[in-house]
Amino acid sequence: MISRHLKSGRFMMPLRFLVFMIFLMGCGAVGPPIPPENVGIEAKVRKQQQDKAKKEGTVSEDSAASIEEETVELPTFYPIGTR
């Protein structure tokens, strides 16, 4: 009895629609892309510094220039194979 209902086109259209909607939901969030400089801990610290400066009434310089990047010294590279 169930197979007879599945073979009819009456139930296939809503089933296709449901599968299509589930597929669309899995494709990710809809919206504009977020630039990488607005993501992460550095962006949170920068925002907190800006909020603190606004509360104190001081005008800070460019926040991107105030945070200096630390240089990370990498270990020397040693080849593993003989090729």
13: domain range?
1-27
**16 located within any domain:** yes
pLDDT tens digits, one per residue of 51-65: 998 888 865 555 545
Q: Predicted confidence band at 68 (pLDDT cuts at 50, 70, 90)?
A: low
**7 located within any domain:** yes
> What's the pLDDT score for residue 48?
92
- Per residue, the 3-state secondary structure of the chain, as one string, reads CHHHHHHCHHHHHHHHHHHHHHHHHCCCCCCCCCCHHHCCHHHHHHHHHHHHHHHHCCCCCCHHHHCCCCCCCCCCCCCCCCC
Number of domains in the chain: 1
**54 located within any domain:** no
**55 located within any domain:** no
